Amino acid sequence: MKLLFVCMGNICRSPTVAAVARVEFARAGLAVEVESAGTEDYHIGARADPRSIAIAEAHGYRLSDHRARQVCSADFTRFDHLLVMDNTNLRALLAKAPASERERVALFLPFVGISEPAELPDPYYGGAGDFQRALDLARDGIMALVRRMLG
């Protein structure tokens, strides 16, 4: 399976979710290819937000090597699922998706069975607590996906 996690700039939420996924899938013995990308081009080539790096790495999730990238057309056929953090980016990604590939695009938390909250909030304009909340939701979502994949 191949998963692409998507947020707006690819420096906070989606790279955090991808970092958690890599570790937790490996711990569970699941062979899943994981990447992240943004719907916008604001931060292409940039490292993850230092606050995201600090929170993720404090919990054992390596994020310091991340470099932001934007979703490209090949992603719609390369990945089995493109899992988006919020409704704004869901709309943006669906607008870019070929009609035949739109079924691959979904909101991350509802896709893994978490309906409340339905969106993973953007911590960018917040403080340390917002980044911790994003990591907690990333971990909750990935662990729900691990449980589902293991049956």
Q: One of 7, 22, 49, 51 is an active-site residue; which one? A: 7
HSE-CB of 132 using CA atoms within 13 angstroms: 4
Q: Name the token pair of 16.
A: 């955090």
Q: One of 12, 13, 51, 69 is an active-site residue; which one? A: 13
Cα separation, 83 vs 9, in Å, equals 14
Respond yes or no: is residue 86 known to be catalytic. no
Respond yes or no: is residue 122 known to be catalytic. yes
Respond yes or no: is residue 72 known to be catalytic. no
Q: One of 49, 75, 86, 122 is an active-site residue; which one? A: 122
Could you list the active site residues? 7, 13, 122
